[in-house]
Amino acid sequence: MTSVHAPLDQPAVIAVAGLTKTYTFHQQGAGLAGALRSLVRRTYETRLAVERIDFTIGRGEVVGLLGPNGAGKTTTLKMLSGLLYPTSGEVEVLGHTPSKRKPDYLRRIALVMGQKTMLWWDVPAMESLLLHKDMYDLTTAEFDRNVAELADLLEVRDLLNVQVRKVSLGERMKLELMAALVHRPEVLFLDEPTIGLDVVAKARVRAFLAEVTRRHDTTILVTSHDMDDIEALCSRVMVIDHGRLQYDGSLSGLVRSARPRKLVQATYARTVDGSRLAGVEGVVVSNHSSDQIIRLEVERERTGDVLEQLARLGPLVDLDVADADIEDIMRDLFLRRDALGTGEAR
């Protein structure tokens, strides 16, 4: 397996071994009768949300945590940030045990949950930032420097003194990020940071995060259902499904192991006689004789030969070679849950 663990000469910023979380909760029937019954006799259920996962992450790495709904991503982030106690296993972040929630630890991390706010709605964001200044013991010089840097990068200078409830969703997300980063955390946990944002706002948030990690070597672990976030930010991805780590490696490695084929599209100046396609390797996905376009799925390592074969069929106007769409790959992956049993997969 090719995994992108922290280099051996550099201590891991995040180290997780055998991490497991089981939720125990009680089932309550519907209505008043159900509530009363559950007072007398409680029935408990357990759910294994995260099961014996291991990984390490080095300083400055930006890692995407991928998986379908209910896979265990948020639970993992909550254990890493100290919001939840693990049921078993070990977690160390920046040399700390997160669940102890020591002030020195909390000063060095941040957790941003796209669906939760850490800003007060009825006052301007600056009030919340000032609260963070006190919480994190920032000097006025540090605070002013960090606020100036973040406000410039996020282009929110004019919004800092506007009541939070009066700003748009995209603007609020930028202010949330600002509040999370004003103490310049070394490790950032992001749970769906672009959820609900429009295309432009998403692109801004991604560019901002990329710049923050470039400038300050911030380590980021990010969950997102938007594969564009992952492609734009992450050099490494971990796929979690049913609480188990299924893959840990590069995004391109995931694409290769899940969809070993390339998509080739050839456009010709003239209609190509369909019978001549018999001499071309690959699976013909479509052949629109009217518009002279042929689409093929081709074994990755045979792509060069296939392009030569296609060139012999007639005068080409355009030739396009692409990997399968990452969104499709993820959809396939979770439909075929066992597909990652080999190669770079765990």
Ligand X SMILES: Nc1ncnc2c1ncn2[C@@H]1O[C@H](COP(=O)(O)OP(=O)(O)OP(=O)(O)O)[C@@H](O)[C@H]1O
End-to-end CA distance of the chain: 7
Q: For residues 151 and 178, is the Cβ–Cβ distance under 8 A?
A: yes
3-state secondary structure 66-96: ECCCCCCHHHHHHHHHCCCCCCEEEEEECCE
Smallest distance from the beta carbon of 321 to ligand X, in angstroms?
33
Which long-range contacts link 127-136 to residues 24+ away (Cβ below 8 Å)? 128/164, 128/179, 129/160, 129/178, 129/179, 129/182, 132/179, 132/182, 132/183, 133/182, 135/183, 136/107, 136/182, 136/183
**Closer Cβ to ligand X, 32 or 116, answer by number:** 116
Smallest distance from the beta carbon of 49 to ligand X, in angstroms?
3
**Closer Cβ to ligand X, 53 or 232, answer by number:** 53
**Closer Cβ to ligand X, 25 or 31, answer by number:** 25
DSSP letter assigned to residue 301: G
**Closer Cβ to ligand X, 73 or 132, answer by number:** 73
Cα distance between residue 113 and residue 110, in whole Å: 10
**Closer Cβ to ligand X, 67 or 253, answer by number:** 67
Smallest distance from the beta carbon of 23 to ligand X, in angstroms?
3
> Dihedral through CA 208, CA 214, CA 220, CA 226, nearest 10?
40
Tokens 């550099």 belong to 10
Question: What's the chain's length in residues?
Answer: 346
Coil, strand or helix: which one is 232? helix
> CA dist 114 to 174, 176, 224, Å?
11, 9, 10
Q: Which of 157, 167, 221, 223 is nearest to 195 (CA)?
A: 223
Binding site for ligand X (CB under 6 A): 23, 25, 47, 49, 67, 69-75
∠ CA 336-257-187, rounded to 5°: 95
Smallest distance from the beta carbon of 238 to ligand X, in angstroms?
12
**Closer Cβ to ligand X, 171 or 191, answer by number:** 191
Smallest distance from the beta carbon of 197 to ligand X, in angstroms?
17
Smallest distance from the beta carbon of 313 to ligand X, in angstroms?
46
Smallest distance from the beta carbon of 245 to ligand X, in angstroms?
12
Smallest distance from the beta carbon of 116 to ligand X, in angstroms?
12
**Closer Cβ to ligand X, 67 or 249, answer by number:** 67
